[in-house]
A and B are shown apart, each in its own frame.
Chain A
Amino acid sequence: MFSEWLSRLRFAVFRKHRSEVDEELQFHIDRQIEANLAAGMSLPEARRQAAIAFGGRQRTREQCREAAPSWTMELVLRDLNFGLRGLLRNPGLAIVAVLTLAVAIGANSTIFSLLSQALLRALPVRDPQQLVVLNFAGATDGHTHSEGGDRPGHHYEFSYPMYRDLRDQNRALSGLIASAIYNAGATWQSHSEAVDTELVSGNYFEVLGVRPAVGRVFNAGDETAPGANAVVVLNFDYWRTHLAEAPVTGRPISINGVQFTILGVAAPGFRSAVWGRTPEIYVPLTMQKVIEPDWDYLADHHSYWITVAGRLKPGLNAEQASASMNPLFYALREQEFAGAKDRSANNKHHFVDASRLNLESGARGFSPIREDIRTPLIVIMGMVVLVIAMAVVNVASLLLVRAANRVREFSIRYAMGATPPQIVRQLLCEGMLLGLMGSALGLAIAPETLHLLIRWMQGRAGDVSAFAPTLDWRVFAFTAGAMLAGTVIFSLAPAVQFWNPRLADALKQQAANVPGGSLRFRRTCVALQIGFSLLLVVGAGMFVRTIQNLRNTDPGFATDHLLAFHLVPELAGYPGPQVAPVEQRVLDSISGLPGIRSVGATNDSDLVGEGRGGDVYVSGYTPKPDENFDAELPWVSEGYLQTMGVPLVAGRLFNTSDSANSLKTAVVNESFARHFFARPQDILGHHFGRPDRPKTDAVIIGIVRDVKHTSLRDPVQPTCYTLFQQGERPTGLTVYVRTWQPPDTAASSIRAAVANIDSKLIVDDLSTMTDQIDQQIMPERTIALLATIFGLVAALLAGIGLYGILAYSTAQRTREIGIRMALGARRGSVVGLILRETLVLAGIAVGLTIPVAFLATWAVRSQLYGVSLADPMAYAAGILVIAAVATIAGFIPARRAAGVDPSSALRMD
């Protein structure tokens, strides 16, 4: 029984050996000959009769083979082999088609993997659909620390007391978590670096359902009295890349100079409840004073600094929970108002009556940066769709050209006895092979592309990225499947003619005349390709112009030979009163270095999209009712304005006589002065300050020219500079160093000088100003880079498509060209004939596309800067590229056509 199964298994894969069959058949014939001899025939007669009785030997052999179970497989292999040979007969075309498919599949999978992570995918936590993000309407008075994402009626930052009351008193949520992100200095085994630190509530990991990878994560008990529980949980990626997966549980790590104990490592893949945050370590909220020593947030009802999310109780939806929680929120706001300074009816209206708690679905997590990157990602996605459309059209037209060239081959094969199913099977195999090879190549390049793209978008090497380099398999499967289907369908095109009853005629005519309809179709294909590529090339031009404009925007100060780094002595454990002195020592020692022109510092980095500001008063000016004037309020060092090269308009700049203990002074820019006084100079000598903060009062001693401060895109803000030594509290600084030297040399001497003062001080993010600006315009640069790549790919595809059709149509016209030349046409005029046709086609396509390009540019105008929608440069460049591509694509077949020997062309049929 067992051997029976074994033999059946064997036969399923192999068939009987050929010689075995031959021997068996031979025996049969010999036996028949013997029988015939025995019946009295002569030997030749006996042989003849035996052979007649047996019939066709080869046919029997074949029938024996066909009886084998492995026959079907053999057929498939044979078809595949045949298909491969068919493709190899024209390898150039096959390679182009495979590459086209691979680019389309790879690009789509890569970009959509990023898009879905940012916009669609749920957080990697337990039951993300139960999560809600909290925000509220109602006035906030006091200090707000915002990451962005707020909009009128939706403040996402809560105070810690409010969070605690909501968490403990609500009845709609099974858990409410809070978190905030800060920068801190971590020292692990005598190596110090700045790390993104997420302050989280004790129940954070429990409510999200994030498990530890090593040791344990926080539980509700870790949220203790302020400052009492110095424990930390590490992010998995940070632990892997920065700590080399060292055993960490129970080990000490120094954070801002305070000893913390590592409890464990959070599960791989988890980053934060807020999408886009990339914390490297997690610390309990109650340790806020260590992470942000300048402030005391925990007990303050008017410091809004934590984002809050909750998990709905099973069976409740967000509206029901909101209805249940709003009375509680209202009551809490009333209590807060009782402690407010301004208890006017007007303020009560804004603070209490207008307050409302909103619960938004939070499966994807609250994310202030999602809105920022949504448009760039969608623009890129749009470009990918264009490239895919081009790829499909390109592969289709390539296959059709190929099909047309093979009419004769198939006619002959048909005439020789191939059945239509056999021919269809062969075509199917060719199409499948093309599609499969394209998908395989796409799969091979996609993860690497994804990796490169994430690396490129990442600020510093080794940072935890908000994007995980994992390919979205559904997208890949979908794209590859669609491309495969498209390829197979178009590769079947030649089979259509076998339903043509006039096949014999086609064969007789050498199948040279293709109906006009199909030529028109191919021309449409080429026109479409030219259109798509023009769109992409013009788009690329627009984005490249945008970066040029952003880079060349005059911020009001020179950005060359300028190095910048962050210096936050508190990250090295300096207590408040010692911060400003050590910062001054660093500035002094750097300015004493050889090759340094000047040094300046501010707590408000320039041109990196951040700002520190607030409302102000100026003595001698009465604000209009309901006036809401906010100014940028950077604290700077004495040499800052000189280092940045901000020109003085009136009065004086800070100088060495201004110190921590001297009279407090301030310098304002022209916009600031002009807001208060018609003649800007009038502001000199007046006092400036923050309402209700007497320590901020300072005399305005100078006016400087407006310079861009927050970002290159935003207009100039009214700004008031004060000295950091005279500030209310210690602050970290961004130090700017203007050098004569190459940046690398200066960088190492700066590091050495700082280490000389205290090796624990972290010189964070030391880079040139130009690099920092590049970093800030990263979305624009990413779009421009991808647009350029896609534009070039598109132009190349269009060129190939154009070449394909022209090569085919000129080959069809060999005879016509031969006649023309026999009648005296010169080679030049033949080339001109073909080229003219090409350029007319390209011209029509360009003409039709320009309005579309205009519309597309209008749709992405928010991503452009300083480029007119009809930017002549971008359009001219686009049209030039298309013209060049069309000329090259047309010239090759045109020259070949001109090389036709008239006599042989005429003799062809």
Chain B
Amino acid sequence: MYETIPEFLASVANRYPTKYALYIRRFLRTTRFTYREVEQISLKIASYLLENGLKPQDKVLIWAPNMPEWVLALFGCLSAGIVVVPVGLHSTEEVVGKYIEQTRPKVLFLSKFYPIDFKKPEHKNIKIINLEDLVGLVENVSIKKMPNLSKNELGEIVFTSGTTGEPKGVMISHHNILFEIEQLLKTVPHFKHYRLLSVLPLSHVMEQVVGLMTPIARGGTIYYLPRINTVTIKKALRKYQITDLGAVPQMLRMFLDSIEYQVTEQGKSGSFNFALKLAAVLPITLRRQLFSKIHEDLGGKLYVFGVGSAPLDVKLAETWEAMGIKVVEGYGASETTGGVTANRIDDRIIGSAGKKIPGMELKLSSENEIQVKSDSVTRGYFENEEKTREAFTADGYFKTGDVGYLKDGYLYITGREKFKIVTAAGDKIYPEDIERKLNSHPDVWDSCVMGIKKDDGEIVHAEIILKPKAATKVEDIVKKINLELEPNQQIMDFSLWTDKDFPRLHTLKVDRNEVRSMSENTSQTKNKVTNTTISSEDTLKNILSKVCKIPGSSITDNSNLVTDLKLDSLKRVELVSLIEEEMGVELIEEDIDNETTLKNIKQQVSSHKKISYPYDLDSITKKLREPFSSYLRILLQDLFVFPILRFFVKVEVKGDIDFSRLKLPIILIGNHPNPPSDIGLLLSILPLRIRLKLAAPANDWPYRTQKYLINAILSNLLGGTFPINTHGKPVGKSLDAILDFIEDGYSLYIMPEGDVTPIGEKLGPLKPGLAQLFANTDVQFVPFYISGDVYGSFYRQKDEHHTYYFPHGFSKIIFTFGKPFTLLDKDENESMVTIKEKILELAPSL
């Protein structure tokens, strides 16, 4: 077993040096790191920090969303013996201020997209490093000798509390983490390909251990997202063919809601419910077939949800299992450095938190409190001996504060001790028990139960969030659930929570204290419900709430976006961008003015058709990648296209280019005088090794206008092209597709003019999108120029439309290839200039 994290990192780097460990695509730029790169950059970061005055056991804060650079900063610090204090992204400055006062960090790692302007002057003195700039910052740093670290070296201080009381910093050593990883690996089977999407915050130690280090130990690839919502998660599941997703129960519920909504819209609720019942008797492979459309929507490779952090509704888990995705629930805490118990993929009981992980000693106190002893358990709270003493029993077991029971070795969580409600009769009630019942109601999205003082004890109060289009009134829900509860569990008081969600801690657990505080401050009278039929336009309200930073409960149909919600020009763009992403509707900013209310926006959204592209780009590019498609294309090229073209056109190749030695992928880039014959002849020069994995973006005009569609189809079939919008606003999807092909090892041929080269000109104006994608990257371009009697054999197209045409003579065309080049160290403007120059260098004088 490894003693320290750097040792672990070195080992995985040796085992999987060229495999990609971390990946993110941000604003059409891919950032990814191999295992070797992760190790080397981490050491450079460590060296940089040590060179700049930090010493082992100095503290740094990381306060940023998930991204590869977060991980690099973590490993860099751990390599140098520097202690990391991870902070939840949505923590307030007040809370972070407390962390800073306790830990006195020397450096603060932030994201440049979440900059902070500290109010307290003493906080302003802390050095800030933007994570997105970190790799560039340490690029030229020489790796120093690292300090000797012991296995019990303090690695992290993870805070567990919110604004109330003094936060407690859980001390996590290198050994705690490595021991936990080693035990978890005993419960995780070996898969050939591990592709994990990390959406839970890295500030949570569970995600670090389960969602980062354990997959890394198995050579997996971890994908991060710059924005996390159901739309971006689903896209990523499909794009990256994700096999595992660590989630909180809320996410499973959101996905299921989305499926149920679509099913209802299509009028297929009956067959869907029947299929769920039928699935119960089918093996998993058949279940996945039965729900194949759902799996396709989720990428087709998702087999497991790993769930923790909050109680998981049994019905919710059973529904996913019925659809063919295994739901593996576990239990743990920051103080235990992650999991204490876990269901195994092939040994799980829904509703339980699984069996204890190897290396854990587990017992229940006389009051059924779960207590743990293990090498993964913290040695205590940072600079807080009193809390540390209180947290452990005399015989060294950590007191989790959670209550449960064991049955046949499986742990069942009952609730959290500190949240329990004590009635006037002395009965102890755990809110989680009641929440489980409430959440099992089909119209309840989530609930939060708490005790409110009455007489000499407390009574049960429930805050309830209804699903959109909930058919049942909240009072009727409460009546129904009360029939299922014990007499002492009766919900005596309730309110409808009109925001989309409860406030949450950085661990994504409901912030019960905040819910209580908000509940007590609300002007709503308890039991009085303002509106039970929450509109399905909740998404729109939630987007507005997010953009304008105003609680959803304060937004009504008559709220004026400008005067009431303070929507300015910046927020207007953000609003329409989010509506486009999350609702698939493209609004025009001009339609949002000083008079626009929420009601107007709702009308605009419902009257606009969803954005529907004239073609399914995902489907076209997917088919292009199929081996059969490639072989068919090459067969048709070699048997028909090339012989016909070459019969009429003699081709001369100039330039010092050896295609057999070129490292692939490449981007062939040149002029476009006479499509499609010029392309056909270009392809006829290329060797098979390039043609086997070759694609090209082509003007999507035929698809958009539905004219000359046959040209587009033939171009796709014979040339491997896919549509791209070359006019007006660039379409991110097409640019994304270009990047995807390159990352998948496909070479491309691109005509950067986006159109036919004007007659009489050497080269027309270039479309700038290419530079945006490849500026400052090491992708290899191979320039070419087509000259000679380019119109001698085939008609030049007479206007902007493609037409069929037949050969009318014999001719000779010259292809001049230039030396390969990259756009490394060039920005977008310089890239455009370079591309143009490299092509024109090859053009003969006119």
Q: Do A and B come from one complex?
A: no
